[in-house]
Amino acid sequence: MKRFLAATATMAFLLAMCTAVLASSGGSEVSADEALSRLKEGNTRFVSQANVAPHQDAARRHETATGGQHPFATVLSCADSRAPVEVLFDQGVGDLFVVRVAGNVAATDEIGTIEYGAEHLGVPLVVVLAHTKCGAVTAVVKNEPVTENIGKLVAPIVPAVKGIKARFAASDVNEIISRSIEANMWQAISDIYAKSPMLKKMAADGKIKVVGALYDIDSGEVRWFGEHPSEGSLLDN
């Protein structure tokens, strides 16, 4: 009997959670903090294998096809196949405006896409999502030979790696890689502000929030770092 009651309570909880997620609205009606909470809740469901897989049916496809898209968060992430953004945040069609590129770098194409999400779609939150064991960062740390195009692609990662190597010269390569992955996340946020006067002003005016996060490809957990440690000076310059 106790097992039955516990199972019933668990099912009721999951049904309530599912109803809440499915009833959630788009980006234009949520704040940056609400959007962040929604991502955190989704990742918690993913890690605990309690996914509700919202907004993945025919009704949702029709809704977004006829009514347009209203994502509640923009996520700049790596193209690594082990970091599927909608899956790890337990979201569905029309929920996230995702920009994926090797090394989650913020160059012209990525920043322009983020600008579109912020200005035209009204997305209040931008997440720069790094991940453990990033191949692009590893290649830069180890100075591995790459093609000309890949070299240009990973160029924004170089300053972050140089800074870590200068500060932690005595560390082993694995620690350098780990620290460089985090530093590259901050580098991307700095590049967003440095290369986009529009996004910089929107952040300064409180219209958007830009935060960093790190996805662990083994545990499935997302570690949240918040806004850039030098947010104030980045927005004042």
Q: pLDDT (tens digit, 0 to 9) for every residue of the chain, 237 residues total? A: 545 444 444 444 444 444 444 444 445 589 999 999 999 999 999 999 999 999 999 999 999 999 999 999 999 999 999 999 999 999 999 999 999 999 999 999 999 999 999 999 999 999 999 999 999 999 999 999 999 999 999 999 999 999 999 999 999 999 999 999 999 999 999 999 999 999 999 999 999 999 999 999 999 999 999 999 999 999 998
> How do strand 209-215 and strand 222-226 relate by DSSP bridges?
antiparallel
d(CA 126, CA 109): 15
Return phi, psi of residue 142, to 5°: -85, 0
Instruction: List beta partners, residue 100.
Output: 77
73 within 8 A of 35, measured Cβ to Cβ: yes
134 is in an annotated binding site: yes
95 is in an annotated binding site: no
118 within 8 A of 203, measured Cβ to Cβ: no
Considering its fold, how many domains does the chain have in total?
Answer: 1
d(CA 135, CA 30): 34
d(CA 161, CA 128): 17
Q: What is the CATH number of the domain that holds 171?
A: 3.40.1050.10
18 is in an annotated binding site: no
SS3 (DSSP) at 84: coil
DSSP class per residue in 13-45:
HHHHHHHHHHH---GGGS-HHHHHHHHHHHHHH
Structural domain that includes position 81: 2-236
78 is in an annotated binding site: yes
pTM over 0.85: yes
> How do strand 73-77 and strand 209-215 relate by DSSP bridges?
unpaired
